[in-house]
Amino acid sequence: MIAMAPAPERTVHCYDCGAACATAGAVPVCADHGPRWMLVRNAPGAAVVITDERGVLLGRRAREPWRGCWEVPGGFVDLGEHPADTARREAREELGVTVTLTALLGVYVFRNPDGQWIQSTDYLGETADEAVPDGGEVLECRWFAPADLPGPMAGPVERRIEDWRAGRARPLPGS
Ligand SMILES: [Zn+2]
């Protein structure tokens, strides 16, 4: 007869104090801080600044936060997804365009109006497609010359455009 080995105990530590958490229930519980289910503080995001001779392609947000503000396509990284794939996926979902990433623009850490910290890996990209805003996420989209940018803009979009204009983008790293 083969004895069944007991299931290994999960070891979960509180992200505030490092104490081992009780894991009897579905959610680990720290004796001092309570339920600990959030493992990431800065939510990972990715975005792409799409440019060509017309300038930069921006969309106006249909949703909160930053409803009505102009932004570049971007969003949260899915579990296990590479940020480059997130950037391409978001451009497809929000603007209906297939994007070729051409450079790494930068890594931006910012807080959205909901108080959530986001760490976004951002790229430069190009597309041969005509943008068609998704409607649910993007109200309208247009190309803007760098000297004629609209306002208001969401999050760090102005910094991203500034970095693109200043030539701060770098060759794409391996993915
Ligand atoms: Zn704790």
Question: Residue 75: helix, strand or coil by DSSP?
Answer: strand
Tens digits of per-residue pLDDT, 60-100?
A: 999 999 999 999 999 999 988 999 999 999 999 999 999 99
Domain 43-165: CATH superfamily, name plus number: Nucleoside Triphosphate Pyrophosphohydrolase (3.90.79.10)
User: Which residue is listed with tokens 């969003």?
Assistant: 75
Number of neighbouring beta carbons within 10 Å of residue 20: 12
Whole-angstrom distance, CA of residue 135 vs CA of residue 96: 11
- Residue 101's pLDDT is 98
CA distance to 20, 81, 99, 147, per residue, from 86 (Å):
34, 7, 11, 29
Distance from C-alpha of 12 to C-alpha of 10, rounded to nearest angstrom? 6
- Tell me the C-alpha distance between 136 and 134, whole Å: 6
2 pLDDT higher than 60: no
Of the pLDDT bands very low, low, confident and very high (cuts 50, 70, 90), residue 13 is confident
Q: What distance in angstroms lies between residue 10's CA and the mean position of ligand 1's atoms?
A: 16
CA–centroid distance, 79 to ligand 1, in Å, is 25
| Token pair in block for residue 101 | 């990433």
Q: Tell me the pLDDT band of 9, cut-offs 50, 70 and 90.
A: low
Domain ranges of the chain: 9-39, 43-165
Q: Separation of 118 CA from ligand 1 center, angstroms?
A: 23
